Structure 1
Amino acid sequence: MSLDRRTLLGVAALASAGPALSPATGAAQTPQIAPADPTEVIRLWPAGAPGGDGVTVTPIVPERSTDPAFHDRYAEYTTDPILTVMRPARPNGAALLLIPGGGYRWAVVDKEGMDVARVFAAAGVTCFVLRYRLPADGWAAGPNAPLQDAQRALRLIRAGAADYGIDPARIASLGASAGGHLAGLLAARRDATYDRVDAADAISFRPDLNVLLYPVVTLADPFAHVGSRTHLLGAEATPEQIATWSLERMDWSGVAPTVLIHALDDASVPVENSLVLLTRLRAAAVTTEAHLFQEGGHGFGTRLIAGKPAEVWPDLVHAFGARNGWLTVSAATPAAA
């Protein structure tokens, strides 16, 4: 099954539609209720996340939505990172690790997590939504703390491939905004950022496909997202730190196929972030593709783009994955009308 337009709009509507009016009578229909969260959750660190001796924060997950038709939550001060598993009705063997954004201040739960997972799960992809630790919360690893969680998450997914009905060689990563920066680190960095915990840590943490959605790439002015840089490195980040943590300064040789998605009218993370990384990817001979949309703004996920050019982005990811080994030919064949 592919992510055809009817699939995309139908699933997105679950999270966006408010009270509808009956076309026949004009009478108000029963308001839609946001779909329930999946109940299958994986704790990344059963014995506790590494380097937490100096951590005193208390986790919170506030709800920003006032509409019962959809959730808009964010996770702040996370101390027990988790993966929420969304299993499709008809799995096609592909898996997707979703890394939501939030400027490294928090991680959104729905807009770039659960909402996007529902769209891809409807097309047969087994999805894993990551709730990761934040770098300014006192973890010994500092800016490496979120990457520890991402590396551990990818390894756990690959280690449990048989249980999830997925191919361990077809695990993609999708990161949005600051989550796109984290997904870029997961793709490009070769160094394990934590000591081995169990047998899963002998497995590769490198994704087999990378999707970077309006990603934070450079931490250098004038195109940096200042909030992400501040929460990752602190307000007094040195030029050396900025260079070290900017994706376009990293070695991307040997990285899996990577697709970039950005709107030209993004006022929060300028499109130049994707453009500089596209140049770097091409120089490193990474199989890559970029989609730059006239309209979409920032943080659009899947719920906020109905009727806008960027609404086709899940279809484009699906097609890119089909061409580059993430999806099998049969899985990528559109369902009959």
Structure 2
Amino acid sequence: MDYKRLLVIVIILFQCNLFFSQEEVLPVWPDKIPGAISAKNYQEQPVMRNGVLTGTSKVTQPEISVFSPENPNGTAVLILPGGGYGHLAIEKEGFKVARWLKSLGVTGFVLKYRMPSDEIMENKAIGPLQDAQEAMRIIRGNAEKWNLDKEKIGVMGFSAGGHLAATLSTKFDLETYEADKISARPAFSALIYPVISMNKDITHMGSRNNLLGEKASDEQINTFSNELNVSSETPPVFLAHATDDQAVPVENSIQYFLSAKDNKVPAELHIYEKGGHGFGLGTMAPNDEWPQTFKSWMQVHKLVEQDSVFVFSYFKGNGEDGLHLAYSKNGLNWKALNNDKSYLKPQLGNEKLMRDPCIIKGGDGRYHMVWTVGWTEKGIGYASSEDLINWSEQQYIPVMEHEEKARNCWAPELTYDHVNDEYMIYWATTIRGEFPETQIEADDGYNHRMYYTTTKDFKNFSPTKLLFDPGFNIIDASLIKANGQYYMFLKDETREPEQKNIRTATAQKIAGPYKNVSKPITGDYWAEGPTAAKIGDYWYVFFDKYTEKKYGAVRSSDLKTWEDVSKTISFPNGIRHGSILKVSEETLDRLNE
């Protein structure tokens, strides 16, 4: 055995595991693998890109990588990456998916399973299934350790991993090895552009040949055509596929859905016109929407909490007394919480202010908040919380301290990027001498542009960069993702000729470039501090009518045409620039207590 090469692989994988923040990596078979054949020249071949493990093949020792939220909700998913039963797209269809599920409070278990091979298996057709069955038994057998509900452990598979997930769902009780009595049945399944059938008319021949060989018998084909093996015991299923998938025909998902329907198995199928094969979590419409659709499906099946209540973070006066919160059941009529008293007193900066508080729920299940700490500071404030009541130690992030001519850091916002598992913090700053073409005396020297930094842990931050220069004085940017792109709501701060309104810009990536600046979406009044939320069929943008000392709102069904609906909303008196998020009824109950 080439021990030096093996040592390098182990080190690489260990570093990757640290990078992806798994709590632990477990062997599926700590002792002997059933039906295994020793092959000294058959060695795992990991694929690294920019220091990240993206794929692997020739797996000999299957492993489970664990992604545990700080506050597990009891639901778990065994994740099976695809790769045609020839390799594993373990980052794109494994680790990345686990990090997203973690943000929902769901514990993810990424299985690095063995590829079917006559070199290392007595029966290669059941080798991957053995790994999947044992992984499910390990998870269920250790449910108490990971704070899981044994009845809420499901499986998710992509492409050939979808075939393995469907096989586990239809053959969970098949005796492929001498096992204990723990059930390997998933409580639910999610099959994303899955290979389902071994029928040559619709199968992915590469997956079929790798699993069954080029001369598969009719019995083998029927045994591993999962649409033929659905029964009333098959777990509920969520399916997503694209019509233009040229690798795995959409008929695979359709046939499984119809079989589930015939057997009265709860099933939901989403077919997209475009998307191709291998879109994973997705970056473009419409297939980037399936994760949110799957989240809604899990909510219906009581696998994740319903986020049904809106909470609004805001400040009052100059921000000297700190964080205020209000709530709403319909998103339109708001009531102050805590008798409109502060939940958190500011402690940072010379002025010790907490203006423009922006709160989001992050990938770790915690609430993260940033705010303006003062009028002349070169940094911003940060704190986190599990319940919006008890907050971490307040932290000063010196995002512009390196810039000698920076005058301020105002109205920071925070967005979680689930694709890259990182946070982007963005804010407005004036740098003396920059952008002289829009500098005027009436603005007292202020001439803002939007800047940003990214972080995974709020300890290490990327270098500050310019986010957006629209060609005018800009402040109060806020981002949402919809229709496969990012929308920025921004305040045009131009004073001569007077603007002081809210506009939009769009980008394909979170860090831009942003373009297509719209006409004003607000009316003939000064508006600032936009924050957006989807309520029913409409996107609502709430903003501070700061010269009128009240709040306003506009709404749109297409993010293009807007109508003013300020007369339909009500807010607590004195509310100032904040942010909106959705929480569970349970969270609201704790806030009310």
Q: TM-score range by the shorter chain?
A: 0.7 to 0.9
Structure 2 residue 63 is matched with structure 1 residue 97 = no
Aligned to 1:321: 298
Aligned to 2:113: 132
CA distance in 1, matches of 2:221, 2:263: 21
- Give the superposition deviation at 1:84: 0.1
Q: What secondary structure, in the 3-state scheme, does the structure 2 residue paired with 1:147 have? A: helix
Structure 2 residues not aligned, in runs of 5+: 1-17, 311-580, 582-593
Structure 2 residue 190 is matched with structure 1 residue 216 = no
> Among residues 233, 236, 260, which one is paired with 1:254 in the alignment?
233
CA distance in 1, matches of 2:298, 2:86: 30
Larger displacement relative to structure 2 (102-111 or 54-63): 54-63
CA distance in 1, matches of 2:201, 2:37: 36
> Among residues 225, 244, 259, which one is paired with 2:223 in the alignment?
244
CA distance in 2, matches of 1:242, 1:168: 32
Q: What secondary structure, in the 3-state scheme, does the structure 1 residue paired with 2:190 have? A: strand
Letter of the structure 2 residue corresponding to residue 216 of structure 1:
V
Structure 1 residues not aligned, in runs of 5+: 1-33
Structure 2 residue 286 is matched with structure 1 residue 312 = no
- Give the superposition deviation at 1:252: 2.4
* 1:157-172 correspondence runs (5 A): 157-172=139-154
Aligned to 1:23: none
> Among residues 27, 40, 58, which one is paired with 2:43 in the alignment?
58
Q: TM-score, normalised by structure 1?
A: 0.82
- Give the superposition deviation at 1:117: 0.7
* 1:190-229 correspondence runs (5 A): 190-196=173-179, 201-229=180-208
Counterparts in 2 of 1:75 and 1:39: CA distance versus 1, 3 Å: farther
Aligned to 2:99: 118
Q: Which has the larger radius of gyration?
A: 2
Larger displacement relative to structure 2 (187-196 or 47-56): 47-56
CA distance in 1, matches of 2:285, 2:27: 37
CA distance in 2, matches of 1:335, 1:171: 27
Report Cα offsets for 1:270-312 as digits up to 9, x if no partner: 101111111111111100000111121111111xx22310111
Structure 2 residue 244 is matched with structure 1 residue 265 = yes
Aligned to 1:188: 170
Report Cα offsets for 1:149-176 as digits up to 9, x if no partner: 0000011101111110111111010011
- Give the superposition deviation at 1:138: 2.7
- Give the superposition deviation at 1:219: 1.2
- Give the superposition deviation at 1:37: 4.6
Report Cα offsets for 1:208-246 as digits up to 9, x if no partner: 111001000111122110100010001111233212211
Aligned to 1:47: 31
* 1:287-302 correspondence runs (5 A): 287-302=266-281
Q: Name the Cα RMSD after superposition.
A: 1.7
Structure 2 residue 307 is matched with structure 1 residue 333 = yes
Q: What secondary structure, in the 3-state scheme, does the structure 2 residue paired with 1:314 have? A: helix
- Give the superposition deviation at 1:335: 6.9
Number of matched pairs = 291
- Give the superposition deviation at 1:53: 2.8
Report Cα offsets for 1:171-228 as digits up to 9, x if no partner: 01001100000000110113131113xxxx2111001111001000111122110100
- Give the superposition deviation at 1:320: 1.4
> Identity of paired residues, percent?
37
CA distance in 1, matches of 2:309, 2:191: 27
- Give the superposition deviation at 1:54: 4.3
Q: What secondary structure, in the 3-state scheme, does the structure 2 residue paired with 1:292 have? A: strand
Q: What secondary structure, in the 3-state scheme, does the structure 2 residue paired with 1:205 have? A: coil
Report Cα offsets for 1:31-69 as digits up to 9, x if no partner: xxx953525111111113212234441112112x35x6x
CA distance in 2, matches of 1:255, 1:311: 27
CA distance in 2, matches of 1:332, 1:169: 19
Q: Is the 8 A contact 2:23 2:68 kept in 1?
A: no
Report Cα offsets for 1:46-101 as digits up to 9, x if no partner: 113212234441112112x35x6xx4622211111110001112221111110011
Q: Is the 8 A contact 2:20 2:95 kept in 1?
A: no
Q: Is the 8 A contact 2:46 2:53 kept in 1?
A: no
Q: Is the 8 A contact 1:89 1:122 kept in 2?
A: no
CA distance in 2, matches of 1:74, 1:264: 26
CA distance in 2, matches of 1:55, 1:79: 9
CA distance in 2, matches of 1:296, 1:107: 20
Aligned to 1:85: 66
CA distance in 2, matches of 1:144, 1:172: 20
Q: Is the 8 A contact 1:95 1:171 kept in 2?
A: yes
Aligned to 2:157: 175
Aligned to 1:232: 211
Q: Is the 8 A contact 1:172 1:326 kept in 2?
A: no
